[in-house]
Amino acid sequence: MKKLILALERELLVAEKQDNTWSVQSFFKGANPVSLAVDPHDGNIIYCATFDRGLWKTYDGGASWQAIDIAPSFGEFARQDQSSRVYTVLRIVANPNHEGQSILYAGTEPSSIVRSIDGGKSFETLTDFADAPSKASWFFPQRPYTHHVKHIATHPHDPHALYATIEVGGLFQSPDDGITWVESPHAPRDIHELYTHAQAPKRLYAALGDSFLKEDDLGHGYAESMDHGATWQYIADGLEHHYVYHLAVDPHDPDIVLLAASSSPRHAHEYQNGQCDSMIYRKEKHQAWTPITEGLPPSQGTLVSVLDVNEQGEFFVFNNHGVYVSQDHGLTWGRLDIPWKPGYVHQHPYAMAVID
């Protein structure tokens, strides 16, 4: 890799490697960047969604950013434009109808999905899920009066098929570029991330918070579906941390899965003077989950990590202690020599983009 875009709780870092030395630029200080999306046609075009300062775009790999959709300011005393959307997640895909162009999907709070087919110059609202049968029961634990789109995924072979998850509400599928959406009635309710795999097109992988929707309901931190989401199997053998927030699947082997998990939502997301905890787990076919520790920071004091994997099969972990890479399918790890300020240890990691 040559560049990493790292979304922390209160700023965005652009780490670039030149002549074996990493340099870091910081953007959006005081804001809350929550999601990143890289254009599949041009790695220099990257979008960043902030929870509190709108949507941003770079044309030069992160060296400079410009606001799209709205144009608010940053800084300690900046006030959010109340007319702006609150973005929660991004997904960008190749446009199946126009070669060389891309479609940008964005999820919001309250739950809706908007789309841009012109690089963010304009947006259309695809759905606010008004007709969803379960919508009256949706909520987000930290703000029970609302809910949001948590993740957007694509089908590995059908460019028109999409998946969207609601926190907390469930799973929806669209067969037509997001125009219509159908609820999956038997899916888990609190899907933090959902992924597909090119070698297993019917298979869905889900990182879950369902273990903490009810008391004494552990064992619902991870689930898979082998039939496009019609039925689900919870896989917990070996998991001692049941709040699962991120996952990554080996692009060359659909049976190698990595999870980032914590003992509870609070221990995942709040530093608590170093009392937070998280663990990376790994699983191969027909095996139990195994905690992975070699080369990674201790569980205690580590906020729940972001996971990613590139096309070459290199796995990445990003947490409040830095960025770590594995070149042996997630078994062992090494820390990248990226300059890391002491203040980053107290900031929650939200998203990562690996630019090769």
- Report how far residue 201's alpha carbon sits from residue 155's, in angstroms, rounded to the nearest whole number: 7
Q: What's the average model confidence in pLDDT over 324-352? A: 97
Position 259, amino acid: L
- Report how far residue 206's alpha carbon sits from residue 248's, in angstroms, rounded to the nearest whole number: 10
Quick count: other Cβ atoms within 10 Å of Cβ 36? 22
Summary mean pLDDT of the chain? 93
Which SS3 state, helix, strand or coil, does residue 228 take? coil
Q: What's the average model confidence in pLDDT over 6-10? A: 97
Q: What's the average model confidence in pLDDT over 102-128? A: 95
Percent of the chain residues topping a pLDDT of 70: 96
* pLDDT at res. 217: 87
* 38: pLDDT strictly greater than 80: yes
- pLDDT tens digit sequence for 240-290: 999 999 999 999 999 999 999 999 999 999 999 999 999 999 999 999 999
* 22: pLDDT strictly greater than 80: yes
Position 16, amino acid: E
Taking CA 225 as the corner, what is the angle to CA 219 and CA 226, rounded to the nearest 5 degrees? 140
Confidence of residue 53 (pLDDT cuts 50, 70, 90): confident
Percent of the chain residues topping a pLDDT of 90: 88
* 352: pLDDT strictly greater than 70: yes
Q: b/e per residue, 221-245, with b = 16+ CB within 10 A?
A: bbbebeebbeebebbbeebebbbbb
* pLDDT at res. 96: 83
Q: What are the distances in angstroms from CA 161 to CA 153, 164, 178, 201?
A: 9, 10, 8, 12
- pLDDT tens digit sequence for 159-176: 999 999 999 999 999 999
